[in-house]
């Protein structure tokens, strides 16, 4: 039987061996903000297991954009370790991407020593502070940071660059009315709120040209009233489409500081997440407000598909489907509908060789149960499925 999901795919200048990519999932394997042996083996495992491309999660474009002290940020010192990651993935026949981001409003000032910034001066529960409202000079400087990080990513050997415009990180904060209360050229209308994200994407594209694929992870909905809506997200996608700067859009949803489980769906491991918080105050706060903050959403196969379909006719840019894709039949159906690629996360963490199992075409049923215990593990000792044996 021929499976569209296992056929060769395209992502800008790249030819991919199939249509399944490993989505960016925070690894927690970068002590000192540098790639570790565990990070190398983590991504090698997905490549050896058959994915077309693996994505290194959240590399900050600057020191000030980190949410944790040990979070990786792109600078010259990080290049040798990241080059080991790309070489390991390439040796297994897969491509490799890096996710470029800046935490903005919920960056941790203790991680970098820099003042937290955001679209507007609004209390940040993560940084426990009132961030500085970014000036035009700040926006220009951070836009330059995206370009500089993109050039370094090429030096590391990455084939594709994913610009993070989702989940409530800085570029997403500018899109969301919840965090963007500005009344200048960077706030108000959709066009104004999209001005900075579009500039950052354009800077990345200009920095790499056609030497790498460039795509964006874009929120379709923040998941709560007062946040980014589907209609506004489609308008943003049309603006990016008109710019012609992207090879694809990877569609997602949820706002880390308000609706983190909107992205995951399934069980909300509140007790386990409280236990791994770095301070007594954060542990207590997670226990007290966990039932509100970590709201549980029922899991459904391909749970973002109904929203993602709305973009297929709205833009010419190829679309990557993300969100609860587990089965080969779902991948095949998505490609049949017109999606260019499918991104998988937890299903591959549970079974790194899942694509190789699909290729046997023996009706294998994926084993991820969506307990989401891999999430607190990322803060404890590095992302892993708790149902697999300990490694490293």
Q: Annotated active-site positions, please?
A: 169
Q: Which helix (H) or strand (E) holds 14?
A: strand 14-16
Question: φ and ψ at 215, to 5 degrees?
Answer: -140, 165
Tokens matching residue 354: 């899942």
How far is CA 358 from its chain centroid? Answer: 25
Instruction: List the one residue out of 22, 38, 42, 27 whose CA is nearest residue 95.
Output: 22
* Residue at token pair 């943003």: 236
Distance CA 17, CA 326 (A): 19
Distance CA 11, CA 335 (A): 14
Distance CA 150, CA 148 (A): 5
Q: Contact 319/311 with Cβ under 8 angstroms?
A: yes
Task: Determine the 3-state secondary structure of 350 from DSSP.
Answer: helix
Task: Determine the 3-state secondary structure of 378 from DSSP.
Answer: helix
With vertex at residue 366, the alpha carbon angle to CA 364 and CA 369, rounded to the nearest 5 degrees, is 150
């Amino acid at each position: 039987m021929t499976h569209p999901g296992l056929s060769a795919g395209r992502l800008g200048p790249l030819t991919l061996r199939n249509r399944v990519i490993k989505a960016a999932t925070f690894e927690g394997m970068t002590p000192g903000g540098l790639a570790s042996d565990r990070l190398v083996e983590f991504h090698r495992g997905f490549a050896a297991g058959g994915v077309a491309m693996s994505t290194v999660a959240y590399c900050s474009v600057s020191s000030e954009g980190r949410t944790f002290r040990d979070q990786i940020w792109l600078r010259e010192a990080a290049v040798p370790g990241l080059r080991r990651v790309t070489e390991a993935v390439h040796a297994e026949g897969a491509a490799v991407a890096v996710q470029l981001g800046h935490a903005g409003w919920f960056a941790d000032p203790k991680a970098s020593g820099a003042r937290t910034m955001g679209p507007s001066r609004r209390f940040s529960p993560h940084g426990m502070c009132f961030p500085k409202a970014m000036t035009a000079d700040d926006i220009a400087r951070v836009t330059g940071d995206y370009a500089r990080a993109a050039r370094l990513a090429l030096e590391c050997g990455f084939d594709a660059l994913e610009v993070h415009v989702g989940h409530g990180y800085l570029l997403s904060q500018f899109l969301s009315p919840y965090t963007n209360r500005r009344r200048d050229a960077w706030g108000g209308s959709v066009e104004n709120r999209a001005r900075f994200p579009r500039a950052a994407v354009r800077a990345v594209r200009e920095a790499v040209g056609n030497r790498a694929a460039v795509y964006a992870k874009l929120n379709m909905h923040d998941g709560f009233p007062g946040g980014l809506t589907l209609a506004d997200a489609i308008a943003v996608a049309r603006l990016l489409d008109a710019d012609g700067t992207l090879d694809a859009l990877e569609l997602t949803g949820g706002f880390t500081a308000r609706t983190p489980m909107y992205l995951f769906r399934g069980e909300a491991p509140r007790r386990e997440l409280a236990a791994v918080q770095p301070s007594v105050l954060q542990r207590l706060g997670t226990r007290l407000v966990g039932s509100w903050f970590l709201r549980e959403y029922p899991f459904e196969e391909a749970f973002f598909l109904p929203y993602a379909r709305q973009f297929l006719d709205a833009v010419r840019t190829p679309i990557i489907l993300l969100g609860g894709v587990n089965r080969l039949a779902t991948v095949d159906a998505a490609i049949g509908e017109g999606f260019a690629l499918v991104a998988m996360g937890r299903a591959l963490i549970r079974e790194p060789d899942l694509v190789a199992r699909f290729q046997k075409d023996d009706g294998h049923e994926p084993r991820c149960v969506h307990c989401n215990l891999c999430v607190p593990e990322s803060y404890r000792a590095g992302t892993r499925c708790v149902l697999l044996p300990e490694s490293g």
